[in-house]
Amino acid sequence: MARKRIGELLLEQRAISVAQLEAGLAAHRKSGQRLGATLIAQGAITEATLAGVLSQALGLQQVDLAAVTPEWAAVHLLRARFCEQHDLFPYALESVGGRRQLVVAMSDPLNVTAVEEIEFTSGLKVNVRVAALSAVRSAILRYYHKVPVAAANTAATAAPGASRPAPVKPLVAPPVQKARAAPPPEEDDDEVIVGEELPPGETTQRTSLAELIREREEQRKQRRGQATAKPKPAASGGGVLDDLDFLFGQAREDPDRIEELERKFWALMRIMARKGLLTKDEFTRELDDEGER
């Protein structure tokens, strides 16, 4: 998925002006609301414009949630609070190349943090679709909180840019499988908020660690790709895979399983870095193969 932010894409597509972006960012920092919702509330763009720009710029399909009948197996994989926090809605499971994927409608498909957390907790790859913000919130109210369709649509569209509607006590609590609610946002000025524009070249300790982790992940992928063209040695020495073998008890002969474990490992490292649970020194000393050489 592209690493750009919503503000950059909207500017590139000439959907907003620089002045509108600056005003949106100022309000976004004060309220903590997502940038897209803030721009909609200010009248800079419409929901349809935002969804169209994101779909076209990122090459992602749009989905009309009002015309979709969700699969309960998909809905039950995520909790209502997590969906409300990130303005997303899981609505289908599909098989791609023999592997199951969770199809998720998102008003902000650039929210990589949410995607990675879903993939880590569910063990499924996420297939993102773009949806209008009010449609996502209406689906959450309807399928998680059992609010009737008309009432859900009214609550979701009454104030498109306002804060999320207060959760309605569900009439029937839906079962939840293999998911956990995301913690509330941290009060930390050093945290990078998805959708917020940083001045060119500005970095923080967490962003520099995140970049190092991504660099090591790419190097590991390249090595794995090169290794597939060569005979595998009978034994290998040390590194991330041995740690994963020990933690998960997985035999090394299954390349698909190894790839899945590695993907979970790197996702966990990025989550820990963003939450300030891992320092750069700790990563290079304990986990970075390159740093040991």
- pLDDT value for 253: 54
**Percent of the chain scored above 90 by pLDDT?**
40
pLDDT exceeds cutoff 90 at 107: yes
- Chain centre distance of CA 40: 21
| pLDDT confidence bin for 179, thresholds 50/70/90 | very low
Unique residue bearing structure tokens 């040695």 = 233
- pLDDT value for 267: 80
pLDDT exceeds cutoff 90 at 219: no
Strands (E), the chain: 88-96, 99-106, 125-130
pLDDT exceeds cutoff 90 at 241: no
Q: What is the DSSP letter of 109?
A: T
pLDDT digit string (tens) for 9-40? Answer: 899 889 999 999 999 999 999 998 889 889 99
pLDDT exceeds cutoff 70 at 170: no
- pLDDT value for 206: 57
Residue 199 main-chain phi, psi, to 5 deg: -55, 145
- Chain centre distance of CA 134: 19
| Higher per-residue pLDDT: 3 or 103 | 103
What radius of gyration do the chain's Cα atoms show? 21
- pLDDT value for 34: 83
Secondary structure percentages of the chain, helix, strand, coil, to 5 = 50, 10, 40
pLDDT exceeds cutoff 60 at 43: yes
- pLDDT value for 222: 78
The SS3 of residue 261 is helix
> Whole-angstrom Cα distance, residue 255 to residue 228?
9
pLDDT digit string (tens) for 116-131? Answer: 999 999 999 999 999 9
Element (H, E) at 249: none
User: Which residues, 6+ apart, have CB-to-CB distance to 58 below 8 Å?
Assistant: 1, 2, 9, 109, 110, 130
> Whole-angstrom Cα distance, residue 238 to residue 52?
47
- Span 199-225, average pLDDT: 67
- Span 207-231, average pLDDT: 71
Q: What is the DSSP letter of 111?
A: -
- Span 264-283, average pLDDT: 76
CB 105 within 8 A of CB 138: no
> Whole-angstrom Cα distance, residue 48 to residue 39?
12
User: Whats the size of the chain, residue-wise?
Assistant: 293
**Percent of the chain scored above 70 by pLDDT?**
67
- Span 165-178, average pLDDT: 45
